Amino acid sequence: MTIRVDDEVWAEVFAAASRYERERVSLGEEFVAAVDAALEAIEGNPAAWAVWPGIRKDDPPIRRFVMPRFPYLIGYQVFDDHILVIVIAYGARRPGYWR
């Protein structure tokens, strides 16, 4: 099963990486590597993470992966032939701001 990430989602990832890089050299690279590892985990077992609480009932439902090191959440949907990443959201912002 393939994973699809829109250009808009990648743009947010790289903007966050730039902010992290300003905090500490190579922290932005570590963030991007953590996002890549999270996407691999999702791709390997997409049903392992729970449905995102408080989000409208979609079909298929939006699932949520909580990144362990960085305060980011990955929202995605599992279809028959692919996984669609909807958002890689900063967890400290107002919940659901990305909707």
Establish if 97 belongs to a structural domain.
no
Q: For 23-42, what is the mean pLDDT? A: 97
**1 pLDDT above the threshold of 90:** no
Local structure of 5: helix, strand or coil: strand
Domain that holds residue 73: 2-90
Establish if 96 belongs to a structural domain.
no
Kindly give, in sequence order, each residue whose CB lies less than 8 Å from that of residue 21, ignoring residues fewer than 6 positions away: 27, 28, 29
**96 pLDDT above the threshold of 60:** no
Distances (CA, A) of 12 to 1, 51, 90: 24, 22, 10
Give the count of domains, the chain: 1
Establish if 95 belongs to a structural domain.
no
Answer whether 0.85 is exceeded by the pTM: yes
